[in-house]
Structure 1
């Protein structure tokens, strides 16, 4: 800094610090949004959506909001959405926002704190306010999840509507009118009121709460399959595909999906919906999704879900997982998750029940129905158990704290996942509930199980789809009703505390132990194929893409100790250009007597470096092995419920 500038800065500083204290007081913050009152909104919102633009993929919205008085009106786009466990608005993708009343434009101001809320002033004498805007859906994955293609679309009303602040969303009626491309069909949990020849559809009014919880799949190629247990309570599999041939489900495949629904109803002893719609896309273009709703779910699978059935089974637990949420997460809901609106922050402290037990039932129902064979389910569980057998993050971060991860990291990539932890309440939750199930079975000589808990806890008020909230103490009480035990300590030890343990108690009590062998299981190989990776996590401690890029490195693994991490690529192995088979051979050879350590040529940016990995343990892949003399409760858990 020049001398003259230093003098000027000193003078300025003296002037600033001589300003009276009163001048430094912060300006008052804007008032919060009004409390969402449990009173009926005076009128029905009318939402008009034009979704016919499949070329530039812009959805155009016109919404009419009845008003009963002049003055301030605050319109809010949903921000905190059930099932996403975090604020995930897409208000950044709306444009051309306009408000009017009586044909005259109204000025608006975005709330500086609740940034999806718009403040405007209703003029005297106005009976309604019209809101208009465009939703600019992502045209590439770089801009977000693709929700429109040439032949299908996923419409989520939180991106296509607003609600008036000050009222509980359960007390705001809304009516939707929608125009789709010519020749398209749709599936949605909304009830159709009328259809016009031009493709315009109007749906029966319902509370805004249920409207947002009822997204739509629409498309050119659709097939609907009946999965109902009781014809009075329809359950439909609505499948949309890129090509008509991808809809070709066999009778056996349909029977398996019907059985999945039947097995779920047997477990939960109820149906908390008047009808249920699986919305399924089989597409290589529409963005992947798995999202639960009370009377429907959004599910994305590869285009060969049916046509490549024999070899494409990894991930088939998606439908039973999302279906389970109709009971666990939608009907029974953690008390700190249930809010009167979509802008009040949610608390996630019970996600290890909401998602953890749902993850458990997703795999169990898959095995019981035939979506997985019991052996495939056991191989999948072995991989989950192995992951946490090798993760070190549980030593500093308890499962309970991972329920904050959707808010903290919003599913962004992590460099050191095994140390940072992620949304572990899903899969660690599965292992905790497996632990509880095998304990109940062991103590009751297999006369009671987690099935009894599920029927008791989720099966109340059959037919109701009004959410019933619960707290931790209610989970403990329900478990005690099945089998009296210190469930308070059992759960708090596993959920609230850090641990050096690896959550293997349930497996071992269930008659199996986690082992490692030099040969991967069929599940492991199928998963590698699906993800296009070479997974050496349980030997060197890293995974690689097809081109040798390092995808992940386990903390404190041999690869970690050799200085490897993301952003690096393996160019050569022991002096030979990288190939998946080559690095596997090198690992196996290093384990032989007088074997040569694995030597890797690593590239990061423009820098090359040779590293030697001090590891002689050979290839290691997880699998489950029966424990001699122990009752195989895990087999009973996976068996079809009669």
Structure 2
């Protein structure tokens, strides 16, 4: 009875206590308006502090008349929604030392409590301009993040080193940028010098903030430029920096392949959408890896032996073709959900299966047509893609279209079970969808049309224009139907929105090819594995192992998965003998005998050791294409010799 009375008393006291209510949100940051900012911002970057990996910036920002006359709240934004990242991944955590001055006096700033990339400045009446200084405290090692400064090179990305005024479309904000490089260094960028710099300082022509962010810089001690310009006289340059000077030793034939890339892209799209184009390529083991598109340039990294070990590095040589394609697909033509008025407005990635998926397709095609990869190498690469996505069981619960949300969901962080979670599958499974579409167009048209025709019709409009042209799903379907009538809406919907057991492999089977598995890895698998320092047992035991002996991936549902193996466990021993990739291959081969004992793996998980038994008798398995690959051969052949860019001998 006493307990009941006590409970009633507590209830009465609680009912008398005020309940918490939500705190009102602060006033919204000014929304972007399509009006000129009015004055030019001066932005200078000091890139000479290599030892501490620090970039130091100064901005002079003339204030709008209304703020200068009356004073009040003026908001600066740090870019967060970055082009090509498809997510709010701006490196605001690296921003430091922010100081705002006017007329030599410090003005306090206050970070917005909701939009943490916004900085409020209470401007005194009569202030005409602000002097803003800050640093970017870039990662000093890969453990902290992507390294952008080393003793021989640096990568300046303007989105990371700039603040811009809120309330304007960024195409309406003009900036006069400059950079001070280490003495004696060269640089590459889509920006052009205005000729006023002195010493190691380079002053660039005034551009819009959009163009600035879209024009990163590679600078290095060991640097070489190669001219790739074609007969149209539109300047294209391959800017290469390297850890060591000997890594720049390219042959004429290798540079010709890069020239062929420009030629084949121009033929394919029948246009260009840049006033000039600069490939930025870092051959490095020190600078953080990158592959990022821009309208008139691209940031790329490759192994030190990109040129000097040409026969071994082809496993990544579709990268430049991929990023170059983005000048047309992604930068010029862009899904409407991925266009935004500034760099802090959220984007929607539903169209990434075109933006990235079709670009992935053309990256492989153009690499073969240019000679950056051979036709057999690209066919081996396609076989690997087909096998990876056909064995990815996550497709049974998650449709491809949902993976276009992954840049926001996962922020490209490591995943425990990628084959089940699916990650950003719109890249390479999207590639398979477009291979399927290409072969279907060829079949339906009697080999008179192909996806080449779609590329020219869809991406080739407004030749020479660098103004973004947005599109939606209906326009894709309309253009496909103009090339070859078919129920393309149904075709795409089935592959994008439905779950399935298998990957869309009709692009192979329609021409008579099939994915088969043999005990011998393809040359592509060898190159790919060497470049990424992994041993590939994905289609046998169901795992890959990195060069340190740590399990780097486990295939959902595989024998290794069934045995309880997870990624990031150290593979210490196999059947009682210290782990060695060749020895594990031998054990897998021996276990082909159906009476063979399970393969015993000794694993270390932190401080704990345990042994698992993997029951598997299938032998080594690596994907290859078998059957009739003539259609693929035709699709990968260079354009230009035939009358119709759709693809010559497709029907022969």
Q: Give the match for residue 646 of structure 2.
A: none
* Distance change >3 Å, CA 244–CA 433, structure 1 → 2: same
Give the conservation status (yes or no) of the 8 Å contact 2:542–2:555: yes
Distance 1:574 1:479 in 2: 55
Give matches, 1:196-595, under 5 Å.
Answer: 196-230=197-231, 232-592=233-593, 594-595=595-596
Question: Secondary structure in 1 aligned to 2:315?
Answer: coil
Question: Secondary structure in 1 aligned to 2:330?
Answer: coil
Give the conservation status (yes or no) of the 8 Å contact 1:511–1:634: no
Q: Map Cα deviations across residues 2-59 of structure 1 (whole Å, 9 max, x no partner).
A: xxxxx999999865542245xx332210122112111111211110111111121211
Distance 1:38 1:30 in 2: 24
Shift of 1:585: 1.3
Q: Give the match for residue 634 of structure 1.
A: 632
Q: Map Cα deviations across residues 201-231 of structure 1 (whole Å, 9 max, x no partner).
A: 2111111111111111111221111111245
Distance 1:495 1:191 in 2: 42
Select between 10-19 and 417-426 the one with higher mean Cα deviation.
10-19
Q: Map Cα deviations across residues 331-351 of structure 1 (whole Å, 9 max, x no partner).
A: 000001101011000000000
Distance 2:27 2:613 in 1: 61
Distance 1:551 1:8 in 2: 58
Q: Give the match for residue 123 of structure 1.
A: 124
Q: Give the match for residue 25 of structure 2.
A: 29
Q: CA RMSD in A?
A: 1.7
Q: Given the alignment of the two structures, is residue 19 of structure 1 paired with residue 20 of structure 2, yes or no?
A: no
Shift of 1:526: 1.8
Shift of 1:242: 1.5
Shift of 1:605: 2.7
Distance 2:266 2:218 in 1: 25
Q: Give the match for residue 58 of structure 1.
A: 54
Shift of 1:79: 0.5
Give the conservation status (yes or no) of the 8 Å contact 2:597–2:615: no
Q: Give the match for residue 40 of structure 1.
A: 36
Question: Secondary structure in 2 aligned to 1:414?
Answer: coil
Question: Secondary structure in 2 aligned to 1:51?
Answer: strand
Distance 2:195 2:8 in 1: 74
* Distance change >3 Å, CA 602–CA 214, structure 1 → 2: same
Question: Secondary structure in 2 aligned to 1:192?
Answer: coil
* Distance change >3 Å, CA 124–CA 362, structure 1 → 2: same
* Distance change >3 Å, CA 197–CA 34, structure 1 → 2: closer
In the alignment, structure 2 segments of 5+ residues that lack a partner are 641-652
Distance 1:570 1:52 in 2: 43
Select between 509-518 and 477-486 the one with higher mean Cα deviation.
509-518
Shift of 1:403: 0.4
Shift of 1:178: 1.8
Q: Map Cα deviations across residues 272-315 of structure 1 (whole Å, 9 max, x no partner).
A: 01000001111111111100000000011111111111112110
Give the conservation status (yes or no) of the 8 Å contact 2:226–2:239: yes
* Distance change >3 Å, CA 33–CA 368, structure 1 → 2: same
Q: Give the match for residue 190 of structure 1.
A: 191
Select between 148-157 and 354-363 the one with higher mean Cα deviation.
148-157
Distance 1:77 1:11 in 2: 53
Question: Secondary structure in 2 aligned to 1:525?
Answer: helix
Distance 1:233 1:330 in 2: 18
Shift of 1:117: 0.9
Give the conservation status (yes or no) of the 8 Å contact 1:187–1:238: yes
Q: Map Cα deviations across residues 149-191 of structure 1 (whole Å, 9 max, x no partner).
A: 1121100111111111011001011101221111111111112
Q: Give the match for residue 142 of structure 2.
A: 141
Question: Secondary structure in 2 aligned to 1:253?
Answer: helix
Shift of 1:623: 0.4
Distance 1:543 1:11 in 2: 63
* Distance change >3 Å, CA 11–CA 46, structure 1 → 2: farther
Q: Give the match for residue 4 of structure 1.
A: none
Distance 1:121 1:10 in 2: 52
* Distance change >3 Å, CA 13–CA 225, structure 1 → 2: farther
Question: Secondary structure in 2 aligned to 1:256?
Answer: helix
Shift of 1:76: 0.3
* Distance change >3 Å, CA 502–CA 66, structure 1 → 2: same
Select between 305-314 and 469-478 the one with higher mean Cα deviation.
305-314
* Distance change >3 Å, CA 568–CA 53, structure 1 → 2: closer
Shift of 1:570: 2.5
Q: Give the match for residue 645 of structure 2.
A: none
Give the conservation status (yes or no) of the 8 Å contact 1:75–1:163: yes
Give the conservation status (yes or no) of the 8 Å contact 2:594–2:617: no
Shift of 1:382: 0.4
* Distance change >3 Å, CA 12–CA 233, structure 1 → 2: farther
* Distance change >3 Å, CA 232–CA 527, structure 1 → 2: closer
Shift of 1:266: 0.6
Distance 2:608 2:146 in 1: 34
* Distance change >3 Å, CA 94–CA 591, structure 1 → 2: same
TM-score (norm 1): 0.96
Q: Map Cα deviations across residues 117-162 of structure 1 (whole Å, 9 max, x no partner).
A: 1001111111111111011111111111111111211001111111
* Distance change >3 Å, CA 11–CA 596, structure 1 → 2: same
Q: Give the match for residue 612 of structure 2.
A: 611
Q: Given the alignment of the two structures, is residue 114 of structure 1 paired with residue 115 of structure 2, yes or no?
A: yes
Select between 211-220 and 585-594 the one with higher mean Cα deviation.
585-594
Give the conservation status (yes or no) of the 8 Å contact 1:441–1:633: no
Give the conservation status (yes or no) of the 8 Å contact 2:44–2:57: yes
- Report how many aligned residue pairs link the two structures: 631
Q: Given the alignment of the two structures, is residue 85 of structure 1 paired with residue 86 of structure 2, yes or no?
A: yes
Give the conservation status (yes or no) of the 8 Å contact 1:392–1:555: yes
Give the conservation status (yes or no) of the 8 Å contact 1:546–1:580: no
Question: Secondary structure in 1 aligned to 2:545?
Answer: strand
Select between 323-332 and 159-168 the one with higher mean Cα deviation.
159-168
Give the conservation status (yes or no) of the 8 Å contact 2:238–2:281: yes
Q: Give the match for residue 3 of structure 1.
A: none
Distance 2:638 2:495 in 1: 29
* Distance change >3 Å, CA 554–CA 163, structure 1 → 2: same
Shift of 1:594: 3.1
Distance 1:569 1:49 in 2: 44
* Distance change >3 Å, CA 16–CA 588, structure 1 → 2: same
Shift of 1:236: 0.5
Give the conservation status (yes or no) of the 8 Å contact 1:77–1:91: yes
Q: Map Cα deviations across residues 345-364 of structure 1 (whole Å, 9 max, x no partner).
A: 00000000000000000000
